[in-house]
Amino acid sequence: MTSAPPPLPPGHASAVFAGGCFWCMQPPFDETAGVLATYAGYCGGHLPNPSYEQVCAGGSGHLESVLVIYDPQRVSYAELIEVFWRSIDPTQGDGQFADRAGHYLSAIFVADDEQRQIAEAAKATLAESGIFNRPIATQILAAAPFYLAEDYHQHYYRKQVAHYQAYKEGSGRGPFLRRVWSKV
């Protein structure tokens, strides 16, 4: 079973993003100055404390997600959303890259009206940018309980370097991100 993340340290903020496989979502945030911690987990579903098997089987309603703990004096919520956009295909509405299932959909989970306004503005800016010729499919959803994924999923990219790299490239994520964002 999964558990709740640790309490938020004073003076820090949190953000939750779903961008397909959570293995691929921790590295870009971990590399961002001002991010103090990331946690792989599940958000948006109706089943309390879901397991990986329950989420993957469907029906729990959860998305594989990443909880980002950050210092808002060093990095803004808007900057984190930019990191998020540059880590996914925001036009893919059936998952992310080779991963096609409901728990791989992309979403920004907003905790309050301010986050919602920033997320909506960022989505509109991306849609108007001309980078993509398809509509932005990423959803903006109200925050929901976040449950930590099992320990073996946490920072998988550090624990299983070769397997993670092969997955990132083989799924199409790596080639897509280089192709799209090297032009911008």
Catalytic residues: 21
Give how far Cα 100 sits from Cα of 14, 17, 67, 166, Å: 27, 17, 22, 18
Side-chain-side CA neighbours of 119 within 13 Å: the count stands at 22
DSSP assigned state of 34: T
d(CA 97, CA 173): 6
Give the alpha-carbon dihedral of 113, 19, 94, 168, to 10 degrees.
170
Q: How far apart are CA 96 and CA 90, in angstroms?
A: 9
- What whole-number distance in Å separates Cα of residue 16 and Cα of residue 107? 9
